[in-house]
């Protein structure tokens, strides 16, 4: 049996250490009982090793986070805190995310997160502690996204925890050992966005025992109130017009990006999932490793992003709906990332030579009117905003897009942080430096996303790769399934933004290539070399250009529905995803004609169907 591990985050528990470190105590910040105004951020586990707490106050210090821990021994403890000066890539100034820690009644250093240029252990001071329970608290000093990963108490000042990633992971496992419980199912879906929701419910409604795992507490992915992107694309399209009906059951009734939280109807999504008796839900669990037997996944491992509870999920069939292709990547699936050169698929619009350019990630935001003039702290950390380069706007939605020239997996924390940097820096200039700022005097930031909306990263390769040629030439395949209706919508750095921020663009433009509705081959929905792995969402088997049309969420929901149907046939016939194409395609077509959603519902999903490019027609 082959086991493939990422550098995983350890159990998130408040426990004393093992015998080898009997004079020390390890505390994971994300497990604090009272998070106050701090939030759990798990987006970068594969980069820095753990979820962490972030003080996302948009320039106003958030309420303290606190918890009680059991000290094993009385004595003097030296306190080390793992934190990060997140503005350091752009500025040598004292970091914007400064915070303090207190133990019992003693407040220690208030300069945590203010220095350094990487995730590191910073010394907070020493404190005398009596054996037993003591209160620990984190005090945000700025409201600008200070972040705390873990706290280490030791009676030896020279006992500084390691910062080397593999050794740090080993240390965490040593100090907070856990044993995974086992959950078995017919079908395990990883990723609780629109694609994963539809895959899980479709399979459950067809009789499978299904597990749905999501690494955030809310369902819906970028359509949740955490990221706030509206649904896009048509449903009710041939050749299988009943695909997508289930989106009518949970889809928000209002469109719009970067709108108030209620627009995204999180509770409706949760109720939609909880109504399925064959579906078991695991919100806030991050998949970090897989087991394989030969070319098949036998299990995935997940940890709760707050409690650290670990579960091994076993099933004959899995679906990667993570967006990043995380499960496939851990399992050694073939994948692509960036733009293919013209020689790969012969796509007319492809660059002559391939590169790493991807569509970027958006940190959306908006401001709100205030009855009186409001203040915003001066935020100047290396970005040159002036009368010419500033963005004179009161909100930013999808066009505020970063990281197109960076690795959307390996450098994602940098990408997200740059998104925060430009929002705060621009807003600070409008409030504090702009000569004629009457528009902004009585406005304050109402919402800034810290969960970034990602468009493109890994694309897992299947038995067919959807390309520009398929779409433009309308090539018909025998396994045509869900229909994509969006244009070939690709994003590039905004040339106007490049003039002021060359290489550091944060605004994008979109280039649309019109296509007619196109039924995508089923063979794009399973891995070509991991035999029991489906995928649905933006990580399916498409070229960079092909991704431009399939990535909107009503379309990803329909591909999830097809995957859920196919998984039920895998259970019925003890088959693999490829076998459905080879031997059971007629049965899949029959299921697609019927659809897995409730029949007869009014189409309440008529907003954001495709923009201003040519009207789509049914074939």
Check: CB of residue 30 under 8 Å from CB of residue 51: yes
What sign for the dihedral angle of Cα 528, 531, 537, 539? Answer: negative
| Residue ranges of the chain with per-residue pLDDT less than 50 | 1-20, 611-619
Identify the CA nearest to 284 among candidates 226, 365, 208: 226
Place of tokens 């008796």: 277
Place of tokens 């409001």: 374
Which backbone phi and psi does 181 adopt, to 5 degrees?
-80, 165
Check: CB of residue 230 under 8 Å from CB of residue 256: yes
Span 287-301, pLDDT tens digits: 999 999 999 999 999
Check: CB of residue 186 under 8 Å from CB of residue 209: yes
Q: What's the CA angle centered on 570, arms 569 and 575, to 5 degrees?
A: 130
Tell me, what DSSP letter sits at residue 465?
A: -
Question: What angle separates helix 194-205 from helix 553-573, to the nearest 10 degrees?
Answer: 30
How far is the C-alpha of 301 from the C-alpha of 292, rounded, in Å? 12
Place of tokens 């133990």: 103
Which backbone phi and psi does 367 adopt, to 5 degrees?
-110, 165
Check: CB of residue 91 under 8 Å from CB of residue 139: no
Confidence (pLDDT) at 175: 85
Confidence (pLDDT) at 304: 97
Kindly state the tokens that stand for 497: 């933004």
Ramachandran sector of residue 332 (left: φ over 0; alpha: ψ -120 to 50; beta: rest) = left
* Measured CA distances, 464 to 138, 195, 479, 521 (Å): 51, 19, 10, 7
Check: CB of residue 81 under 8 Å from CB of residue 122: yes
Question: What angle separates helix 194-205 from helix 266-274, to the nearest 10 degrees?
Answer: 20
β-strand partners of 185 = none
Span 569-591, pLDDT tens digits: 999 999 999 999 999 999 999 99
How far is the C-alpha of 581 from the C-alpha of 523, rounded, in Å? 7
Q: How many CA atoms lie within 13 A of 565 on its CB side?
A: 29
Place of tokens 């921020």: 501
* Gyration radius of the chain over CA positions: 25
Tell me, what DSSP letter sits at residue 160?
A: P
How far is the C-alpha of 130 from the C-alpha of 128, rounded, in Å? 7
β-strand partners of 217 = none
How far is the C-alpha of 581 from the C-alpha of 575, rounded, in Å? 11
How far is the C-alpha of 177 from the C-alpha of 230, rounded, in Å? 41
Beta pairing, strands 181-184 & 365-369 = unpaired
How far is the C-alpha of 454 from the C-alpha of 451, rounded, in Å? 9
Check: CB of residue 78 under 8 Å from CB of residue 157: yes
Q: What's the CA angle centered on 376, arms 435 and 120, to 5 degrees?
A: 125
User: E-assigned strands of 72-194?
Assistant: 75-83, 99-103, 106-107, 120-129, 132-140, 144-154, 181-184, 187-190
* DSSP codes of every residue in 206-249: TT--EEEEESSSSSBGGGSTTT-----S--S-TT-TTTTTTHHH
Which backbone phi and psi does 553 adopt, to 5 degrees?
-80, -30
Cis ω on the peptide bond leading into residue 66 (within 30° of 0)?
no
Confidence (pLDDT) at 205: 98
Confidence (pLDDT) at 21: 62
Helix, coil or strand: residue 198: helix
Tell me, what DSSP letter sits at residue 526?
A: B
Which backbone phi and psi does 57 adopt, to 5 degrees?
-105, 5
Distant-in-sequence, close-in-space partners of 357: CB < 8 Å, separation ≥ 6: 338, 339, 404, 405, 492
Ramachandran sector of residue 54 (left: φ over 0; alpha: ψ -120 to 50; beta: rest) = beta
Which backbone phi and psi does 539 adopt, to 5 degrees?
-100, 20
Distant-in-sequence, close-in-space partners of 98: CB < 8 Å, separation ≥ 6: 110, 111, 112, 113, 114, 141, 142, 146
Identify the CA nearest to 253 among candidates 225, 226, 237, 231: 231
């Amino acid at each position: 049996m082959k086991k493939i591990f990422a550098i995983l985050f350890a159990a998130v528990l408040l426990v004393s250490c093992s015998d080898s470190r009997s004079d020390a105590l390890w505390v994971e910040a994300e497990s604090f009982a009272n998070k106050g105004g701090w939030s759990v951020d798990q987006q970068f586990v594969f980069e820095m090793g753990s979820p962490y707490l972030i003080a996302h106050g948009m320039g106003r210090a958030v309420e303290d986070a606190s918890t009680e821990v059991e000290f094993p021994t009385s004595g003097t403890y030296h306190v080390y805190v793992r934190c990060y000066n997140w503005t350091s890539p752009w500025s040598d100034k004292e970091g914007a995310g400064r915070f303090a820690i207190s133990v019992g009644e003693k407040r220690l250093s208030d300069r945590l997160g203010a220095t350094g240029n990487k995730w590191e252990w910073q010394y907070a001071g020493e404190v005398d502690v009596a054996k037993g329970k003591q209160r620990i608290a984190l005090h945000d000093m700025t409201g600008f996204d200070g972040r705390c990963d873990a706290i280490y108490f030791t009676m030896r000042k020279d006992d500084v925890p390691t910062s080397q990633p593999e050794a740090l992971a080993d240390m965490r496992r040593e100090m907070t050992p856990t044993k995974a419980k086992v959950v078995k199912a017919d079908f395990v879906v990883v990723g609780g966005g629109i694609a994963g929701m539809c895959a899980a419910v479709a399979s459950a409604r067809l009789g499978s025992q299904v597990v749905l795992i999501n690494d955030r507490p809310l369902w819906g992915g970028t359509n949740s109130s955490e990221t706030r992107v509206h649904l896009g694309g048509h449903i009710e399209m041939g050749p299988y017009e009943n695909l997508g009906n289930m989106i009518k059951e949970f889809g928000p009734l209002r469109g719009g990006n970067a709108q108030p939280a209620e627009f995204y109807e999180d509770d409706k999504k949760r109720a939609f999932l909880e109504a399925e008796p064959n579906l078991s839900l695991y919100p806030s669990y991050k998949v970090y490793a897989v087991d394989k037997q030969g070319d098949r996944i036998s299990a995935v491992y997940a940890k709760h992003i707050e409690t650290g509870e670990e579960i091994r999920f076993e099933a004959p069939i899995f679906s990667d709906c993570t967006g990043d292709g995380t499960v496939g990547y851990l399992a050694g699936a073939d994948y692509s990332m960036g733009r293919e050169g013209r020689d790969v698929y012969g796509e007319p619009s492809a660059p002559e030579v391939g590169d790493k350019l991807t569509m970027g990630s958006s940190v959306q935001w908006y401001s709100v009117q205030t009855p009186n003039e409001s203040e915003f702290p001066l935020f100047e950390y290396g970005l040159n905003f002036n009368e010419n380069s500033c963005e004179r706007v009161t909100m930013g939605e999808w066009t505020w897009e970063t990281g197109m020239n960076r690795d959307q997996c390996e450098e994602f924390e940098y990408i997200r942080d740059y998104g925060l940097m430009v929002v705060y820096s621009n807003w600070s200039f409008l409030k504090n430096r702009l000569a004629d700022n009457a528009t902004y005097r009585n406005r304050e930031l109402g919402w800034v996303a810290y969960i970034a909306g990602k468009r493109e990263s890994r694309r897992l390769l299947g038995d067919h790769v959807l390309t520009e040629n398929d779409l433009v030439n309308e090539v018909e395949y025998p396994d045509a399934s869900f229909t994509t209706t969006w244009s070939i919508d690709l994003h590039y750095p905004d040339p106007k933004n490049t003039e002021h921020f060359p290489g550091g663009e944060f605004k994008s433009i979109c280039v649309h290539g019109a296509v007619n509705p196109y039924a995508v081959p089923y063979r794009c929905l399973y891995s070509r070399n991991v035999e029991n792995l489906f995928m649905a969402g933006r990580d399916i088997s498409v070229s960079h250009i092909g991704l431009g049309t399939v990535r909107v969420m009503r379309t990803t929901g329909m591909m999830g529905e097809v995957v859920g149907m196919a998984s039920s046939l895998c259970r019925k016939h003890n088959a693999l995803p490829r076998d459905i194409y080879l031997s059971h395609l007629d049965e899949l077509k029959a299921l697609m004609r019927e659809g897995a959603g409730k029949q007869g519902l009014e189409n309440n999903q008529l907003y954001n169907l495709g923009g201003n490019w040519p009207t789509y027609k049914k074939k």
